[in-house]
Structure 1
Amino acid sequence: MDSIIALLSDPAAWAALVTLVILEVVLGIDNLIFISILSNKLPAHQQQKARRIGIGLALAMRLALLSMIAFIVALTTPVFDLGFQGGPGAHGEPTFETAFSWRDLILIAGGLFLVWKATKEIHHTMDVEPTGETLDKKGQVVLNFGSAIAQIVALDMVFSIDSILTAVGMTDHVPIMMTAVIITVIVMLVAADPLANFINNNPTVVMLALGFLLMIGAVLIADGFGVHVPKGYIYAAMAFSAGVETLNIFSRRARKRKAEARAAISPASVTADE
């Protein structure tokens, strides 16, 4: 109790908490986009339930991993080495690592899964030919509930490990980490339904989100091989793309309003002429 009171009275602890919450929310966007896209493939009455379960499992995994800090830190210890180095970079350093830890292997597996899943979803979006899978009225593939939850759990694990390693790198205080994780998951719960509905109601946003997942998958694979792409570049690119798509959405809505206004005026003009 005394240690918690000391943390509450420490401005540095509050600064670490705010910084960590911001970082965790940014990292959680990837997780939330994936959950939104998968849940939108379910029947309407199961979508919100799947999002709640997916985000709840994300919270449970993060808190469970936080209780095993020593185990998580050990995940970064190399478990095997291929015995050679990548080619020299601009400053003579290896371009990629050949000593792999469990974290690296999990990131590579998660990245490959994301690339495969995003590619498959893009294929289903672009290919209008009938398949043997169940489709909804819009021609989109409908998942069964168990399959959706299994895929969400798999990616929750990947994003949870990345999230916890970020937290460990930011502070040594477990209560701060747990508080940041809980706040982040609350934000995800609040944003889940609006984000999923927005993605579902704007088909072009679905393609943009799938492009984000492809990019995130490639970054996870690169990170697993020791090629660390600055996260700021990734999220700046995502923000720019989202900004452009927002302008496109406003433009389409403006054109739609003008078309409706012209359609409303034209019959009136014909009546007046008669």
Structure 2
Amino acid sequence: MDTLLTLVADPAAWLALLTLVVMEIVLGIDNLIFISILSNKLPEAQRARTQRLGIMLALVLRLGLLGTVAWIAQLTAPAVTLFGHAFSWRDLILLGGGLFLVWKATREIHHHVVHAEEERSAAGSAVQLTVAGAIGQILLLDIVFSVDSIITAVGMTEHMPIMFIAVISAVMAMLFAARPLSRFIDRNPTIVTLALSFLFVIGMTLIAEGFGTHVPKAYIYVAMAFSAFVEAMNMLARRAKSKRAMGTGQ
């Protein structure tokens, strides 16, 4: 209790909490995009429940991992050596997650581009995805992103209460943002390809991190923000053109 009171009265602790909350929210964007895209392949009635379940699983995983901070710290120690390069368990987890994300994004981009017309017809609806299948894939990526998130938290502060509050705050933000993001992606098909491209880049980043090459995430997110801005301008231009066409037709 005394420790908590000390942290509450410490401005540095508040600054660390704010910084870590922002960092955790930013790191959660990757997870949220994946959950939104995957849940949109389910029937409308099952999407919100699947999103909530996937995000709550992320919360459970992250809080569980926070309870094993000593074990998490060991994940960064060399575990195996392949081709003269030492890999830690964290590296192997990031490699596996990155490869899965690249494969998944590539497969979804191919399906979205090649079968777009089929999906618009009743007979050729999208490849069916069960709730269990969606949750399984979300859980797999939750593990990868959770390990990365917790290692980041451990590296930024040594105070467990700050880590717990930051993780819970970030996941709650994901929970509130999931449905609006999912609806926005569903209403704007061109956004799907852009979001899948983001996931592909994130997967490549995870692979690079797994091989020990640090890629500043600020570069990735700035590029993503610029691409999203360009696409937003294109959407506004298409909407204005559509309105002009309707006005001319009248």
> TM-score, length-normalised on structure 1?
0.87
Q: Which moved more, 1:121-130 or 1:229-238?
A: 121-130
Aligned partner (choices 222, 235, 248) of residue 249 of structure 1: 235
Residue correspondence of structure 1 range 77-226 to structure 2 within 5 A: 77-82=77-82, 84=84, 98-128=85-115, 139-226=125-212
What is the deviation of 1:136?
6.3
Q: Deviations over 1:105-156 (max 9, x none)?
A: 000000000000001101111113999x9x9677432311110000000000
Structure 1 residue runs of 4 or more that deviate by more than 6 Å after TM superposition: 135-138
Q: Distance in 2 between matches of 1:56 and 1:263?
A: 49
Q: Which residue of structure 2 aligns with residue 262 of structure 1?
A: 248
Gaps of 5+ in 1: 85-97, 265-274
Q: Distance in 2 between matches of 1:245 and 1:261?
A: 24
Q: Which residue of structure 2 aligns with residue 71 of structure 1?
A: 71
Partner SS state of residue 42, structure 1: coil
Amino acid at match of 2:18: V
What is the deviation of 1:257?
1.4
What is the deviation of 1:82?
2.6
Q: Which residue of structure 2 aligns with residue 45 of structure 1?
A: 45
Gaps of 5+ in 2: none
> TM-score, length-normalised on structure 2?
0.96
Q: Distance in 2 between matches of 1:138 and 1:201?
A: 19
Q: Distance in 1 between matches of 2:141 and 2:54?
A: 10
Q: RMSD of aligned C-alpha atoms?
A: 1.8
Q: Which moved more, 1:244-253 or 1:217-226?
A: 244-253
Q: Deviations over 1:168-191 (max 9, x none)?
A: 111000100110011101111110
Rg comparison, structure with higher value: 1
Q: How many residues align?
A: 249
Would the aligned equivalents of 1:62 and 1:160 in 2 still touch at CA under 8 Å?
yes
| Change in 2 beyond 3 A, CA 1:129/1:177 | closer
- The percent identity for this pair of structures is 59
Residue correspondence of structure 1 range 221-232 to structure 2 within 5 A: 221-232=207-218
Q: Distance in 1 between matches of 2:116 and 2:177?
A: 34
Partner SS state of residue 79, structure 2: strand
Q: Distance in 1 between matches of 2:123 and 2:98?
A: 31
Q: Distance in 2 between matches of 1:59 and 1:260?
A: 47
Q: Distance in 2 between matches of 1:143 and 1:136?
A: 16
More helix by share: 2
Amino acid at match of 1:107: L
Q: Distance in 1 between matches of 2:116 and 2:148?
A: 38
| Change in 2 beyond 3 A, CA 1:138/1:262 | farther
Query: Is residue 56 from structure 1 mapped to residue 56 from structure 2 by the alignment?
Result: yes
Q: Deviations over 1:72-114 (max 9, x none)?
A: 0001111112363xxxxxxxxxxxxx10011000000000000
Q: Distance in 2 between matches of 1:155 and 1:21?
A: 20
Q: Distance in 2 between matches of 1:150 and 1:185?
A: 19
